[in-house]
């Protein structure tokens, strides 16, 4: 009994039976409608049904139509499927491209974050090295003063950090760390960053960073870095040379300013006596040190001589090249 019911169910669910039933009703709908809805006598309704139907309408025509539909339907479906392939491909392509761009952007941001973390690690190592150099200074007052100044600069730098996206100061720090570890030779500003980090920056920020970097190079803030010209795409070309140090006489004069309290300095004649160099040569060297911002004017003495003092750039030079030992004694 169960097998009989399953066989009947499979026949009922057959698409062909559905096509045949639809065709049968579509061809004979008037006689069927009259047979079930008319209020006339039953025999009259049967007579009307027999008169308006035939073997062809009841079996042959529905059979032909259902057979044709069963054969043609897969081909019709195939046409619709083929017509929808291109739109589906375009839709999937746009979706895949959007997801790919999103993943690429996330990856670039991850690279930028990784580079900033590397820069912070390098800065911590650099801080430790500077602290070791500071501890070598024998003069307690000078050591204490330098430590306070460096600590203040570090606090200012740390306060600038905290946002999710890299700030201009963080990007400048990345460039400084890259410069410190870069070998001698020509380079562009973009070479100081990874390709992924540089790609995440908009053109306005790149232009601003470029102007600030060139301004610092021109002002002598970056020791050993000089602007050499323009390359393809009007990109600024720079050159690094560890040999771009001050001359021995320039360093000799600069070291006499180590340990001086605020407001005090040296005159040209004072430095000439200490270095035993000719006064005119001392004046020439002082002009050079003032020009590259290692020294600055600090007023006039009672003898109407110009007084000069050490600048932050000069102090940084002395720290970087381990020249903090005062040679005035």
- pLDDT for 25-44, tens place per residue? 888 888 888 888 888 888 88
Question: Does some domain include residue 305?
Answer: yes
pLDDT band per the 50, 70, 90 thresholds, residue 142: low
Residue 329 domain flag: no
What percent of the chain shows pLDDT beyond 70? 74
Q: How many CA atoms lie within 13 A of 134 on its CB side?
A: 20
Q: State how far the Cα of 109 lies from the Cα of 106, in Å rounded to an integer.
A: 5
- Residue 139 and residue 7 share a domain: no
For the four alpha carbons of 272, 276, 281 and 287, in that order, the dihedral sign comes to negative
**104 and 49, same structural domain?**
no
Q: Which of 216, 240, 264 is the last residue of a domain?
A: 240
Task: Provide the token pair at 197.
Answer: 């980090």
256, pLDDT greater than 60: yes
Query: In this structure, is residue 308 part of a structural domain?
Result: yes
pLDDT in tens, 37-74: 888 888 888 888 888 888 888 888 888 888 888 788 78
How many domains is the chain built from?
3
Lowest-confidence region among 35-49, 240-254, 259-273: 240-254
Position with higher pLDDT, 130 vs 328: 130
First to last CA, the chain: 120
pLDDT score of 180 more than 80: no
Q: What radius of gyration, in Å, describes the C-alpha atoms of the chain?
A: 45
Last residue of a domain, one of 240, 258, 276: 240
Closest CA to 321 of 220, 240, 248: 248
Within this chain, do residues 20 and 80 fall inside the same structural domain, yes or no? yes
Q: Residue 161 pLDDT > 50, yes or no? A: no
The pLDDT value recorded for residue 160 is 47
Q: What are 72's two structure tokens?
A: 């043609």
Instruction: Report phi then psi at 239, rounded to 5.
Output: -135, 135
CA-based nearest residue to 193, from 208, 206, 207: 206
Q: What is the pLDDT of residue 285?
A: 92
Query: What string of DSSP letters covers 120-183?
Result: HHHHHHHHHHHHHHHHT---HHHHHHHHHHHHHHHHHHHHT---SSPPHHHHHHHHHHHHHHPP
């Amino acid at each position: 009994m169960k097998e009989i019911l399953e066989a009947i169910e499979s026949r009922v669910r057959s698409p062909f039976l559905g096509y045949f039933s639809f065709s049968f009703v579509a061809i004979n709908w008037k006689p069927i409608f009259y047979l079930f809805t008319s209020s006339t006598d039953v025999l009259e309704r049967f007579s009307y049904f027999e008169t308006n139907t035939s073997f062809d309408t009841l079996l042959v025509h529905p059979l032909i139509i259902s057979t044709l539909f069963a054969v043609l339907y897969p081909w019709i479906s195939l046409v619709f499927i083929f017509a929808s392939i291109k739109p589906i491909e375009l839709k999937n392509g746009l979706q895949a491209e959007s997801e790919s761009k999103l993943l690429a952007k996330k990856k670039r941001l991850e690279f930028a974050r990784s580079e900033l973390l590397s820069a912070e690690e390098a800065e911590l190592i650099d801080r430790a090295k500077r602290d070791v150099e500071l501890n070598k200074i024998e003069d307690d007052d000078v050591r204490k003063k330098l430590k306070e100044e460096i600590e203040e600069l570090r606090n200012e730098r740390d306060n600038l950090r905290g946002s999710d996206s890299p700030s201009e100061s963080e990007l400048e720090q990345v460039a400084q760390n890259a410069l410190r570890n870069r070998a001698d030779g020509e380079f562009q500003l973009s070479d100081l960053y990874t390709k992924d980090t540089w790609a995440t920056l908009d053109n306005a920020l790149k232009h601003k960073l470029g102007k600030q970097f060139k301004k610092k190079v021109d002002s002598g803030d970056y020791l050993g870095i000089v602007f050499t010209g323009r390359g393809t795409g009007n990109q600024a070309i720079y050159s690094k040379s560890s040999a771009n140090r001050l001359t021995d006489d320039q360093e000799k004069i600069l070291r006499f300013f180590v340990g001086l309290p605020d407001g005090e300095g040296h005159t040209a004649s004072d430095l000439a006596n200490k270095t035993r160099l000719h006064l005119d040569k001392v004046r020439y060297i002082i002009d050079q040190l003032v020009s590259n911002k290692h020294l600055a004017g600090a007023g006039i003495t009672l003898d109407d001589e110009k007084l000069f003092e050490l600048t932050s750039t000069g102090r940084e030079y002395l720290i970087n090249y381990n020249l903090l030992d005062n040679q005035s004694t």
